[in-house]
């Protein structure tokens, strides 16, 4: 894409992008001439901007003589023009201070990471919990909480604990509950959750020494898919964690009621956000405007970086308008994801 531009065009395009990101106003040739430090006249810059518009990198609103970068321009910028700054010592200290106090709980670490990224970037911080299919079961407990309900507590080697209610037809004898917990630990500990779901029936086929335990064993066999699937679904518990929307809502792109409503609708669609984040599992990923599969995300850019601990991985990043300081945001997202991975280890 960049091969189609001359060096002058690349310089002017970079100047237009950086000016528009800073001012949120369409950039005119005089502004670029004065601010960008290019050894070019305003007339020359105007001609170059016109050429860039013809090539699909700029457009100008009919109410203004200035130009605005297109999604294509931002893509070229992040792929070949952007130079990443170093994360400042104060920013690095703020991120570490926010996260280190929550090291023992995965969801708290991710939530705090989303919050601090939102504050530092003035965008919406986002994080997605890892898929736990590869998480290894360290042990489980069965606790009787009512006459027809048990609480299954799964402790995973990643340090994550998940609780699931198990419905039973009638009050189970305490001895039977203890016995079944022993059997489950003996036969399932050391396996990952995907393996447990796939093989539970075979592993428990001969595990019921008496009728009292047999009824509960059968419940686990019949409901294996639900009891050992702790991957978040849709809705509030979708595994998508968001920072505050306040910094993002204050940006010029959301000054009108209609655009602010569009932002709020996106933040309420955790299923939409999780789907957009689901495939982003390795390294740094930047999706700009119309590159999103869902048109509801077309006004936004999503910048994420993956974190990993053991066999588990997830992503963390920011959601904002396509007009954003990509260099600063990419550096902060990458730094934060690395720190999250280090803390989880």
Model confidence pLDDT, tens digit, residues 5-17: 999 999 999 999 9
The pLDDT tens digits for 189-241 are: 999 998 999 999 889 888 766 666 888 888 898 888 888 887 654 333 457 89
Do residues 84 and 333 lie in contact, with contact meaning Cβ atoms separated by under 8 Å? Answer: no
How far apart (Å, rounded) are the C-alpha atoms in residues 153 and 139? Answer: 8
Whole-number Å distance between alpha carbons of 275 and 294 = 10
The 8 Å CB, 24+ separation contacts for 25-30 are 25/66, 26/60, 26/61, 26/64, 26/65, 26/66, 26/67, 26/68, 27/66, 27/67, 27/68, 28/65, 28/66, 28/67
- State the pLDDT at residue 229: 81
CA distances from 93 to 89, 104, 118, 338 (A): 6, 19, 16, 14
Non-local (6+) Cβ contacts of 282 within 8 A are 306, 313
Domains parsed from the chain with CATH numbers: 2-81 (1.10.10.10), 89-130+233-344 (3.30.450.40), 137-227 (3.30.390.60)
% of the chain residues with pLDDT over 70: 92
Question: Predicted confidence band at 105 (pLDDT cuts at 50, 70, 90)?
Answer: low
H or E element at residue 43? helix 42-54
- Cα 285–304–133 angle (5° rounding)? 95
Cβ atoms of residues 319 and 118 within 8 Å:
no
CB 180 within 8 A of CB 188: no
| pLDDT for the residue numbered 35 | 75
User: What residues have CB less than 8 Å from 291, skipping those under 6 apart?
Assistant: 71, 75
Provide the pLDDT for residue 57.
97
Residues 6+ apart with CB under 8 A from 121: 247, 318, 320, 324, 325, 328, 329, 332, 333
The pLDDT-based confidence of 279 (bands split at 50, 70, 90) is low
Per-residue model confidence as pLDDT tens digits over 19-74: 999 999 999 998 898 876 788 888 999 999 999 999 999 998 877 778 999 999 99
């Amino acid at each position: 894409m960049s091969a189609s531009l001359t060096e002058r065009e690349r310089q002017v395009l970079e100047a237009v992008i950086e000016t528009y990101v800073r001012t949120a106003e369409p950039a005119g040739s005089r502004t670029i001439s004065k601010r960008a430090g290019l050894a070019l006249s305003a007339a020359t810059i105007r001609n170059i901007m016109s050429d860039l518009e013809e090539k699909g990198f700029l457009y100008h609103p009919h109410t203004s003589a200035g130009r605005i970068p297109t999604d294509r321009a931002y893509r070229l910028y992040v792929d070949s023009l952007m130079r990443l700054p170093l994360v400042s010592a104060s920013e690095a200290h703020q991120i570490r201070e926010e996260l280190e106090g929550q090291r023992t709980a995965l969801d708290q670490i991710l939530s705090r990471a989303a919050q601090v990224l939102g504050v530092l970037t003035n965008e919406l911080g986002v994080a997605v919990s890892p898929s736990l299919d590869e998480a290894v079961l360290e042990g489980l407990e069965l606790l009787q909480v009512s006459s027809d309900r048990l609480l299954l507590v799964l402790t995973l080697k990643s340090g994550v604990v998940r609780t699931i209610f198990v419905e039973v037809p009638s009050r189970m004898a305490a001895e039977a509950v203890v016995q079944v917990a022993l059997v489950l630990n003996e036969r399932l500990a050391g396996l990952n959750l995907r393996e447990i779901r796939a093989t539970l029936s075979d592993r428990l086929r001969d595990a019921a020494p008496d009728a009292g335990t047999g009824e509960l064993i059968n419940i686990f066999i019949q409901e294996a898919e639900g009891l050992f699937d702790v991957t978040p679904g849709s809705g509030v518990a979708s595994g998508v964690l968001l920072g505050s929307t306040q910094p993002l809502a204050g940006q010029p792109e959301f000054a009108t009621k209609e655009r602010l409503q569009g932002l709020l609708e996106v933040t309420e669609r955790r299923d939409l956000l999780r789907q957009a984040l689901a495939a982003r599992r390795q390294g740094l990923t930047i999706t700009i405007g119309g590159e999103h599969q869902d048109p509801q995300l077309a006004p936004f850019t999503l910048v994420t970086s993956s974190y990993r601990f053991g066999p588990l991985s997830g992503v963390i990043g920011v959601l904002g308008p396509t007009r954003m300081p990509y260099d600063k945001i990419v550096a902060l997202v990458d730094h934060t994801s690395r720190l999250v991975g280090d803390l989880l280890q």
